[in-house]
């Protein structure tokens, strides 16, 4: 009799352990990359901005890179290179661009800061670099409906788990010679949804992609607004001075518009990123 009871208890423990896997309880996951931590790894205070206008040389030499993640990254190195290459190819025939270099993530490991960026700039012969950073947090919790997960049908049919996702993306464009940020544009998205126990993993991935896409779309709109402001500042001689590669002045609003078109079309990269995840 005791053996039978012990056996039943053991089976119950195994059953409860197996069923507990269906419960998300309250979990928090995500991935991020920090521009500030990368540029100032020692927590140092950024130096005051000198009253010297950056000289943007045309035709432009631009580098594209992701800010390295301190931990797990949802975007693999191969995906980063593939997506950045799409941007590179789309600008190949533009007369105001000399080169667009895709900077592999292997060159921006750790917290190298501006010293590392300047080394990469010399290696790839680029004067301007656009850095992409992001932060996504996924919170998963069970509702009262998750009690039905104890049944096989419930685990497949009942949407008793919720996902709340917050995604923030940001692009910052820097002049390497002066370490001045020319402009930046953020984007944010908050979304939520329900899922079954069995489909929770796939639902989280799908929502993650959709949230990235929505945040990037908002950032793209903000990017256009920041570009309009930057264009006006350049025309007034406040943010940058356009020069030829030999250092001679480069006149005309068309040159400024050409550079701004280049920077504005960087938004295409983010759309390509969201659609190819």
Rounded Cα distance between 241 and 259, Å, is 12
Q: 266, 222 in Cβ contact below 8 A?
A: no
SS3 193: strand
Per-residue pLDDT of the chain (277 residues; tens, 9 = 90+): 545 544 443 444 344 344 444 444 567 677 788 898 899 887 777 777 667 788 888 788 889 888 888 766 666 677 667 656 655 665 566 566 788 788 988 888 777 899 999 999 999 999 999 888 888 887 776 544 444 444 444 444 444 467 778 888 888 989 998 888 888 888 898 876 655 554 455 666 777 778 877 887 787 778 778 877 877 887 787 778 878 887 777 654 445 555 655 665 565 555 555 455 5
Nearest to 254 by CA among 272, 234, 240: 234
User: Residue 7: its pLDDT value, please?
Assistant: 46
pTM for the model stands at 0.71
pLDDT of residue 127: 92
pLDDT at res. 110: 76
Rounded (to 5) percent helix, strand, coil in the chain: 45, 25, 30
CA distance 148 to 154: 5
| Closest of 231, 225, 268, 275 to residue 56, by C-alpha | 231
**Please, how many CA atoms are within 13 Å of residue 108, restricted to the half-sphere of its CB?**
32
Beta bridge partner(s), residue 181: 174
d(CA 132, CA 170): 6
Give me the residue spans of the domains in the chain.
24-45+52-275
Q: According to the model, what pLDDT value does residue 238 have?
A: 77
Q: Residue 124 has what pLDDT?
A: 94
Tell me how far apart the alpha carbons of residues 264 and 103 are, in angstroms, rounded to a whole number: 19
d(Cα 161, Cα 84) in Å, to the nearest integer? 36
Q: What is the DSSP letter of 249?
A: B
Q: How many angstroms separate the CA atoms of 18 and 205, rounded?
A: 23
CA separation for the pair 124, 130 (Å, rounded):
14
Alpha helices (H) along the chain: 2-20, 35-39, 77-90, 113-124, 152-157, 200-235, 253-264, 267-275
Question: How many CB atoms neighbour CB 178 within 10 A?
Answer: 15
Distance CA 184, CA 172 (A): 4
């Amino acid at each position: 009799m005791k053996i039978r009871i012990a056996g039943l208890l053991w089976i119950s423990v195994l059953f409860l352990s197996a069923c507990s896997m269906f419960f998300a309880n309250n979990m928090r996951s995500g991935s991020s990359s920090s521009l500030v931590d990368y540029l100032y790894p020692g927590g140092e205070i950024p130096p005051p901005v000198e009253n010297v206008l950056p000289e943007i040389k045309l035709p432009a030499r631009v580098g594209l890179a992701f800010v390295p993640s301190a931990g797990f990254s949802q975007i693999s190195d191969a995906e980063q290179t593939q997506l950045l290459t799409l941007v590179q190819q789309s600008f190949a025939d533009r007369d105001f661009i000399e080169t667009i270099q895709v900077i592999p993530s292997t060159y921006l490991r750790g917290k190298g800061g501006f010293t590392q960026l300047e080394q990469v700039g010399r290696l790839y012969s680029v004067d301007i670099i656009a850095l992409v950073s992001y932060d996504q947090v996924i919170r998963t919790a069970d509702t009262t409906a998750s009690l039905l997960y104890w049944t096989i049908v419930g685990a497949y049919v009942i949407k008793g788990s919720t996902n709340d996702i917050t995604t923030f993306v940001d692009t910052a464009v820097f002049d390497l010679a002066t370490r001045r940020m020319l402009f930046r544009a953020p984007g944010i998205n908050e979304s939520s949804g329900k899922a079954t126990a069995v489909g929770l993993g796939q639902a989280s991935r799908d929502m993650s992609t959709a949230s990235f896409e929505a945040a990037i779309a908002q950032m793209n709109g903000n990017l256009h607004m920041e570009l309009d402001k930057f264009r006006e500042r350049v025309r007034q001689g406040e943010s940058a001075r356009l020069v030829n590669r030999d250092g001679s002045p480069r006149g005309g609003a068309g040159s400024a518009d050409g550079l701004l078109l280049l920077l504005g079309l960087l938004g295409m990269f983010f759309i390509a990123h969201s659609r190819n995840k």
